Structure formats: structure tokens, C-alpha cells
Chain A
Amino acid sequence: YEGHNKDLSWISKIQVNHPAVLRRAEQIQARRPVKKEWQAAWLLKAVTFIDLTTLSGDDTSSNIQRLCYKAKYPIREDLLKALNMHDKGITTAAVCVYPARVCDAVKALKAVGCNIPVASVATGFPAGQTHLKTRLEEIRLAVEDGATEIDIVINRTLVLTGQWEALYGEIRQFRKACGEAHLKTILATGELGSLTNVYKASMIAMMAGSDFIKTSTGKETVNATFPVAIVMLRAIRDFFWKTGNKIGFKPAGGIRSAKDSLAWLSLVKEELGDEWLKPELFRIGASTLLSDIERQIYHHVTGRYAAYHDLPMS
């Protein structure tokens, strides 16, 4: 997706009312529960949306290899067989790592025979407070190493000082640096100050050519929450109505339980519809979520609660 010409009039009159959005967020969580076999089905679908992530200072090739294997076989084989889903090719959507670990990840995935994309974070993740030159170079190096998806962070300074044109310009440059790779723009909504700024930043990011907009790095104090997500999903819908382009959405950070993931699926279904519920348009950035989902599926299949050692580590 090449991007759109910038049109600041799309964001000039926007207002977001925080208490009303909070109310809507509570309602969605309360009003769309899913149970029994449908819950198991939704959980498997949620697995296919996960970008299995490891972004720690102590990543080495060994834990990356473990992660990639888990990405190919997210749920234990016998559990899938019990649900008759073992031959449907259930894998996570992608693997997400730091730029220095991209080579390891690509090698590990090749060894396991899996063609899911490797996503790399870039542009001074997580704070984004480095010079533009180095940020662009990071993207190029990650793409060279074999990453086919890039998660960039926007410059929050530009948002907080209202420099929307400059923000548009930067993201355009990142888009060009990505080349063929798929661009996800992290808005770091916890640091943007107000929901109105979240909407505006989402719009600018989409106009500048992002394929996905992502809520947060996972390293802020407040990461992906429902009110912020509602605002971003409304921005995606408005952009689709204006241009006909479908941009994807990725919440990241703070999604740990299977129940949460179901609420996220309901949210996207309610606000955008079923067309957005595919890995090309929806991802969940998570690391421990997968084990909780596996635990829920174990319970659904066997009727018992699993011990820590019953399920393989990721």
C-alpha cells in the first residue's frame, strides 16, 4: 500500500469524548461472551492472529529458536487432533524480534520448514528518540537481513507539539525505506496524552502509507486498552470510507489471558466487521497469551486443568 496524499482537513475537526468511549468499551466486554465449542473455535482463530513476540535484552539464538518452533506448532499436536484441526495449518501469524536477532529468526524458521514472516521492530524501538538517519538505516538493515514486516515507532515529540505534516513526512520516509516489506506503525498511545491525539496520529499514519496501525510498544505504562482501540478502529473505518483502503489493526502489550483475546476479537468484529478478522488485517502482539490459550484448549478437550509442565514452553 503506497499511501495517500496528506489531507489535514481529515483531522482538523475531530473530537473524541473520553467518558462515552469508556462506556462503550465496558459494554463490549460485557455484552458479547462466547462459550463452549464456539469459544474453542474463537481461541484457535485468535492463535492465528498472534505475532509471537520476544523483545528482551537477554534474547539469544537459543530462545529465538524455541520461539520459532512454537510459532510453527503453537498448540500441542494431540489437542489439535482431538479438535480435528491438526491438518488446518494452524500457526501463529508472525514472529516479532529485535533487528539484531532477525538473522537468527530467519534461520530458525527455515530449519523448521515454516514460511511465516519475521517481523522486526525498528526506528529506535521503544522510545524512538534517535536521529532520523539512524532510524532509517535500522529499517534498511532489518529488511536486508530478511525481515518481511517492520514495526516502526512514531516520533511522539511531533504528536505532542502538533507537527502533523512533519509526522506525515517521517512516516513516508519509513515507508520508502521498507521497500516491499509490510509496515506497521506503532502509535505508543499511552504517551500521546488524549484520545483525540490518538485519532489524529492514526489518520496521519494511515495517510502516510502504513499497512497496519499498532497501539503500543508493550514497554509503556499503559499499553493496549479498549478505549484506545475503539478510537483507532473508528479511525480505520473512517479511512476506509474515505479512500476504500483497508488498513490493519494490532493491539500489543498487556494482553495475557485468553478471555481478553476473545474480547479483542469481539471488539474488531463489532466495530469493523468480519472482513477484518483475518491475519492480513488483524494481529495481536503477545508472548504469554499463547500459553494461556493452550491452557484453555487443554481444558476444553480434557475437562481438566493443566499443570505448568504439561504444555511445552515457548
Chain B
Amino acid sequence: MRTGVIGLILPSTFSFLEMMWRICPALAVGCTVVALVPPASPTPLLLAQLAGELGPFPGIVNVISGPASLGPVLASQPGVQKVAFCGALEEGRALRRALAGEGAELGLVLGAEALLLLSDAADVDSAVEGVVDAAWSDRSPGGLRLLVQESVWEEAMRRLQARMERLRSGRGLDGAVDMGARGTAARELAQRYVREAQSQGAQVFQAGDVPLDSPFYPPTLVSDLPPASPCAQAEVPWPVVVASPFRTAKEALALANGTPRGGSASVWSERLGQALELGYGLRAGTVWINSHGLRDPAVPTGGCKESGSSWHGGPDGLYEYLRPSGTPTRLSYLSKDLNYDTFGLAVPSTLPAGPETGPTPAPPYGLFVGGRFQAPGARSSRPIQDAVGNLHGYVAEGGAKDIRGAVEAAHQAASGWAGQSPAARTALLWALAAALERRESALASRLERQGVELKAAKAEVELSVRRLRAWGAQAQAQGQTLQVAGLRGPVLRLREPLGVLAIVCPDERPLLAFVSLLAPALAHGNTVVMVPSGACPLLALEVCQDMATLFPAGLVNVVTGDRDHLTRCLALHQDVQALWYFGSAQGSQFVEWASAGNLKPVWVSRGLPRAWEQEAEGAGPELGLRAARTKALWLPMGD
């Protein structure tokens, strides 16, 4: 069902197309839009006027002209359910921090840099035309990082420089020019970047003689920039192209994936196998093979890593403005006295529990990291109590070091797991389901001790087993071919794993919620670091005993301890690709705030309970959508 009121915040240099890419899908699924645009743009106001003339529905598109500081004000209005922002990285980060705790969900599309990978098996002249499309035309969103294989470096540079001589800059409306001007701010940014690059030792080539006071910035090619210099790490502004060589395809992937940005990229190679390998290996939202800059409304366009995780176009673009039926309206849960610097920093000490009553004391559980149970760094445990207050067991007190170890183990297992065929993933999940079935009595008795009736406990175990099987079966359907008008050749919408997914399980439903969150994450190829229920982590640890024998090491890591402290460590970790948090409202707010660090997509419960036993909330399509990310792979054909 549709989301509701969408707030749209546009940067000072937005294009009409970008605005329409966001307004149209929102309107199409039934949402209404309030757009905040910079003061000097009349076009959105005209659009709003035209929309206002639609008799029965005035107010579907509303436009406010104002400074960027109104952004958080717009987002914190009570009715706004989602805020879509596209613009510069730092503004996006600041907005993410400012909106932590507000009711609106935040969708970010940040940065405009693209990547072009030129291998030695490419048609170099056509790749040079690709560079022109990508960086030196009015259609290009931003600058370009160019990676050229060393064996064709000289040839490529020569052709690039010859081609730059033919580019014409002029007024944008003149039909015979290639590039217009984009305002003084953009010009100054480019000028600053080029000056800094020169001072850091780069060679700069600019075509033509452009006087200093003209509004046009000439097309610029920067080469020999040392990889460790600050300019090489910063985003490349328009119309600059920064070229660097690489030796092998493997090195190319490492260089290409070695930035925090992951927007769009193109691969130029006439060898099909090599082109596809590079295309699949690049961590970007859109990959074009032997072409650049193709767009179509039916194909999702978005990014990953710090380019934001919001999409437009294709099915993903529509999902942005939809939410599962029956979801209540999002309200602000902001807690103004939450101190981000101290939340979860110190672990409250727990006193030792009283003497144990009951059968012989079991040894304390360790942390389940890297496929086996290990002692925690702090070398201490915390007691877990059952429903009547007796001691149920001891679990490890995990800390920051243990989180670090768990994330590392998860990363080590990530590439192997992502490379597994869907059938192999299905087999593992079904094996775990069978193991849980065999363990049913033990799990049911533990649930009973936590105060659940025996019949309900058995039902819970059965449901968990069924969910594992269901998600296992869903491991098959990934990716589809899209039909694009005007293009000869397929466009693939691939669903790829996020990477390492961190999940903080809710306190209630210690077994069912744990399994319901674990299964979709694994089925889509992610490795996980989980913080189980605080009230009773023992059920999760029981499941870990089976996972120790069945799963590859590091696939699932479970860390117990103080939930706020562990959440803090995970939320601030730069190498966790996404975080799902089902806990307190304050924790949710902290998670949203902290995710601004590496702009990981987060899913928080805002302190509200979730009906895990219902299909819609416990096993609905929303889980599957959030557990993977999309990549659009364009394959134009022809010889």
C-alpha cells in the first residue's frame, strides 16, 4: 500500500529530470508530494501550479522555495512519512543525523561520480566516446573516474586528448554545443579540485583556451594523481576526469571497489566473459557494458555504499513509496535527551546471581563466532533468569572487541557464501530446519521455563522450522530480465547480497524472531552478526550448536551481552553493510543517527512490538526486499 506524504528535498543543482524521477512514481502509487527546492528555480513552481489545476485533487504536488536549512523542518512535520533527498554527500550525512528519531523514513541518493573501466580488449575509440557521454556532456551528472589498462594507456590518453579538442562549450540552449555551464558554485568546485590535484603532483590537460572570468569550465583530464593523495579519495567534480592505470582485471576491481562511493559504472571490453565478470564484481548500483549513461524508467537506478540506498525507476523505484499493508502511520519518537556520545558506551555491571536451584549447573555459553563457541574478550558472563526468577543459565558478556572479531569472521565467510548457488543455500537452510526439528523437545522445554505454555512452545518451534524451509525455498528466485524500449539487448535486474548484515533481535519471541530474521538474511546470500534476545538468548545459542556443525565458519555469528553496548558497536562499525534493530525507541534513534557514519541502510522498530507469528510481519516480502540490494546490468547487443 502507498506510503502517504512524501517530502522531497532537492539540492541547489538539481535537474528537472531528477525531480520528475522522484515525483512521478510517488504520484503513480498514490502518494502526495511536498518538495523543497532552492529559491532560484521557477520550474518546480510551474509544475505545482499545473498540478493545482487538476480540479478534484488540488494539493497532490506542493512546492516550497526555501533554503536547505528548512529540510529538517520539513522532515519533522507530523504527516510526512518519507523524505527523499538527492544531493551532496555531506549534506546527506547531516540530514541523516538531524532526522534520527523522526517518524519519516529517509531515502538518500548522494554523489554523482561515475566510473569507467577500459580494458585492453575494448574498442578504445568507442570507450572515449563513452567518456565524453559520462563526463563532458550536459547529460553527465558529475565527474568521472577512469581506469585504463596499462597496455592501452598511451593510446587511450592520445585519443582522449584529441577528442577533447573537438568539444564545444557554449550556451546550453544552442543546439550545436556539447557542454554548457552549471553555475559559479560548480565552476569553483572544479577549479579548486584541479588546483589541488596539480599541487599533489598530477598532470592536468585542458582543452581549449578558456578565459578565467568565463562561466564555462573546460573539459579536464587529470592523470598521474598518486592514489594515496586526498584528491584521489575525494569525489571528482564535473567536468573533470581522473585517469589511473591498472594491470589486471583483478586489480581493476580492487581499485574500482576501493572507494566509499558506489553509484554507476561502465565496463568496456569486447570479451564477453571478462565484461560480465567485471560487471558482476563491481560494487555499484548500475553497470553498463560497452556503453555509458543509458537510462530508462523501467530500469532501477540507485547506488550502494555511500551513494545512498534509495532507488528510482523500475520495481525498486516503486517500492520506495510503498509499505506493507496494515503498517501503521509512522510517528516521531524523538527523545530529545538522548546523548549520542554516551549511549551504550559503558556496560552496567551485573552482580552475580544467587545460588542456583535446579539440575546441575551448565557451563556458561561462549560467543558463537567463526563457527565455534569462544570465550569473550572481557572474560565475564551474565546470568539469564527464567520466568519465575530462577537462574536459567550464563551467557558471555560480549564487548567491542568481540563485535570486531564477529564482523571480521562474517566478512571472511561472505565471498564464499555469496558465491554459493541458490540450491546450496537451500540445502543448508533445510538441513538447519531438520536439525531444529530433532531438537524440538529441548527448545520447547527452554521456552516453557521462560513462561510459554507447552503447546504454544511447540507451535513456536514448528513455525520456526517452517519459516526456515520457506525462506530456503525462496533462495531460488533472484534476478530478472527487464524489457527496455529502444535498446537492443537485455537489461538484467540482479539481486545481490548486501554483505555483512547485523541484526539485533527483539526481546520477545526469542526463538521465532531469531529464526524469522536469520532465514531471509541467509537465503539472500548475506552473512550475519546477530545479537539475540536479551531476555533469553539461550534459545538462539541452542540453535548455534546445530549451526556449528552444519554451516561454514563465520556464516552466522551470535554475540551476547549488553544490548545497548553491542548496538552501539555495530551501528558505528564502518564495515557492516546494513543493520536491523528491533529494540527500544532510544536504541532505534541511536542506530539511525549512527548509520550516518558509512550511510548503511537501517531498519528500526522504533520501540514498537511486531507480531512475529503473523505471516505479514514475520515472513512477509518486506524482509526479502530488505535483505538484498539491486544491481542493473545493461547489455546492449550488436556487431
Chain A residues with CB under 8 Å of chain B are: 13, 15-24, 31-33, 194-195, 234, 237, 241, 270
Contact = CB atoms under 8 A, between A and B. Distances in A.
B176 interface: yes
A225 to B, nearest CB: 14
B126 A24 contact: yes
Given A15-B122, A31-B178, A241-B158, A20 B130 contact: yes
Nearest to A241: B158
Given A17-B270, A19-B291, 13 more contacts: A15-B122, A15-B123, A16-B123, A16-B126, A17-B123, A17-B126, A17-B290, A18-B638, A19-B488, A20-B291, A21-B123, A31-B178, A237-B162
Contacts of A32: 176
A30 to B, nearest CB: 8
B126 A20 contact: yes
Contacts, number: 49
Contacts of A16: 123, 126
A20 B178 contact: no
A19 B123 contact: no
A94 to B, nearest CB: 29
A254 to B, nearest CB: 21
A21 B127 CA distance: 10
Contacts of B122: 15, 17
Nearest to B178: A31
Given A31-B176, A32-B176, A194-B639, A20 B158 contact: no
B639 A15 contact: no
Interface of B: 120-123, 125-127, 129-130, 158, 162, 166, 175-178, 268, 270, 290-291, 488-489, 636-639
B126 A21 contact: yes
A15 to B, nearest CB: 4
**Residue from A17, A22, A33 having most chain B Cβ neighbours under 10 A:** A17
A20 B127 CA distance: 8
B277 to A, nearest CB: 17
B158 to A, nearest CB: 7
A17 B488 CA distance: 14
Contacts of A22: 638
Nearest to A230: B125
9 contacts: A13-B120, A15-B122, A16-B126, A17-B126, A20-B127, A20-B290, A22-B638, A24-B126, A195-B639
A33 B638 contact: no
Given A16-B126, A18-B639, A20-B129, A33 B176 contact: yes
9 A-B pairs closest in CB distance: A20-B126, A17-B123, A18-B638, A15-B270, A19-B636, A17-B126, A19-B638, A15-B123, A24-B129
Given A15-B123, A22-B638, A194-B639, A33 B175 contact: yes
Nearest to B152: A13
Contacts of B121: 15
Contact of A19 (B158, B166, B177, B637): B637
Contacts of A18: 638-639
Contacts of B175: 31, 33
Nearest to B165: A273
B607 to A, nearest CB: 53
A194 B639 CA distance: 6
Contacts of B176: 31-33
Contacts of B162: 237
Contacts of A13: 120
A23 B294 CA distance: 11
B210 to A, nearest CB: 20
